[in-house]
């Protein structure tokens, strides 16, 4: 899969939904209230590391993709990263639940890309209908600095390599 977005391009505007962390969410009886994140407004002037997974709680995403970002959080911050976010096609409640299960609190944003609208603009949607998953986000990573793409890589297979924490850190 070759993305249509390239290094040097300005990311398209778009809106993600997410549930911001609050201490109330530490109770598993709380669900939180979804809010919107607008790319052009909320990421202007910021250095953002965004990685995408086909699905929350799915084996590779849950075991191999997200945890290294959590473990290396301080290294990302030391390199001037303002925002670390994971995005998937799952709804905001599922993404929030995954983040709570993983203990993310406010370290990594768990963003929902409703109907894969934003990822499609990048050419990074993935048809997983054969697995009964429908259309999902591809497994990819971006470094965005003041809305300009500095790094974009898409996984060529099912492993986590070019979109993993180590690879992204090496390009900061």
Residues with catalytic annotation?
A: 61
Which helix (H) or strand (E) segment holds residue 136: the answer is strand 135-137
Beta strands at 35-38 and 47-52: parallel, antiparallel or unpaired = unpaired
Structure tokens at 30: 């709380």
CB 113 within 8 A of CB 92: no
C-beta of residue 113 within 8 angstroms of C-beta of residue 121: no
Q: Name which of 68, 110, 69 is nearest 87 in CA terms.
A: 110
Q: What is the DSSP string of 85-132?
A: EEEESS-HHHHHHHHHHTT-TTSSEEEE-GGGHHHHHTT-EEE-GGGT
Residue 36 belongs to what H/E stretch? strand 35-38
């Amino acid at each position: 899969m070759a993305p249509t977005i390239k290094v040097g391009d300005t990311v398209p505007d778009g809106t993600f939904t997410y549930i911001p962390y609050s201490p109330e969410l530490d109770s598993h009886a709380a669900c939180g209230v979804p809010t919107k994140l607008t790319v052009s407004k909320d990421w202007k002037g910021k250095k953002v590391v965004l990685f995408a997974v086909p699905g929350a709680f799915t084996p590779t995403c849950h075991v191999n993709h997200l945890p290294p970002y959590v473990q290396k959080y301080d290294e990302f911050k030391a390199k001037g990263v303002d925002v670390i976010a994971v995005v998937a096609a799952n709804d905001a409640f599922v993404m929030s639940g995954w983040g709570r299960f993983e203990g993310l609190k406010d370290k990594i944003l768990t963003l929902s890309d409703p109907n894969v609208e934003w990822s499609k603009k990048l050419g990074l949607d993935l048809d997983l209908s054969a697995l009964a998953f429908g259309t999902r986000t591809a497994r990819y990573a971006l470094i965005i600095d003041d809305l300009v793409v500095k790094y974009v890589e898409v996984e060529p297979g099912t492993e986590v390599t070019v979109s993993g924490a180590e690879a992204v850190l090496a390009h900061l």
